[in-house]
Amino acid sequence: MAIFERNDTFSHWITVRDKDGTKEDPATVDMSIIDPHGNTVLSYTNMTNDSVGIYYYDHDISSTATYGRYEVHVKTTSAGGHYGILHDEFFIMPWKLEESIRRKMGISTNDVDDDDLSHIAWMAYQESLRDVYNHHYKEKPKGNPDTGAGFNGTNTSFQTKYYPIADIGGDGSIGDSDDAEADITGWWINSAGHRSSCDIDITQSDNGEITITQNDGVTAIPSNNEGVYLDYWSEYGNYNEFVYREAVSFLAAHYVNLRFTEQDKVTIADINSNRPIVLKQPNRFMREYKRLIDSVRKPRILGVR
């Protein structure tokens, strides 16, 4: 398992052996891939037989692939109809973090393998999103960006007060309110004081243009509503992708560091007995993460975007 980017090729290799450990070729060897939202991106497909007991499959990752954890299932079927299923996983992320983390810590694959590092990197990325973006809760939308119209019973076009709307789910797309990873949601209060959810579609995330309807996706919010509110996240005006990526690497390094640190102990001798590592100032990675995140979060003096 490792981290891949969009447009990469994920190559999966397996070795099939019998109960005695001898390589053998089953009747069929098929592989499937499930994306982070539970969708099948590769139905069970024959793997290529490279040599006795050795199989592989090259999966070309889409340019629009969802970011997150992917499940890999390999099904082997014997001539007698008996089968077994092997499970694996990999991650697709906006960029690869492994080498950056290892360079910062001075560690190698002997200290932390790709499997563990991939999980830690994804966790750090997910956590960082709520630090790098600005949360807006119970915010009233602005009117129609073209006409200024508000909730008059027919208008459905509105604008968020702050923008660009952020991908807080981290899946690589800005999701509407009914998507698997919704990046904006909302609710409205009717004239009787009852709360109902809104259906929100994002038409232009960069400038916060949205459509707001009742939860049927068609009917406008009535003019006698007692309030319409949004819940979403936005980018800060001085967002810097390079600085943000560095910050995530430091946060991941912090979590790797925690695995090596027990209370006030900073010496790692049990990970690789031939090359002990001494970690000084165990919180230095977190401090650097916070410094970089703060530099990205600092609001622009001239106001919002």
Instruction: Say what the pTM is.
Output: 0.85
Q: Are 99 and 238 in contact (CB under 8 A)?
A: no
Closest CA to 250 of 227, 283, 228: 283
Q: Does domain 3-92 have CATH number 3.40.50.10800?
A: no
CATH topology of domain 136-234: Immunoglobulin-like (2.60.40)
- pLDDT digits over 120-141, tens only? 999 999 999 999 999 999 999 9
Per residue in 223-238, pLDDT (tens digit) is 999 999 999 999 988 7
Query: What span, in angstroms and rounded, lies between the C-alpha atoms of 115 and 118?
Result: 5
Q: Is the pLDDT of residue 239 over 50?
A: yes
Q: What is the pLDDT of residue 267?
A: 42
Intrachain domains 3-92 and 136-234 with the same fold: yes
Domain ranges for the chain, please list them.
3-92, 98-131+238-297, 136-234
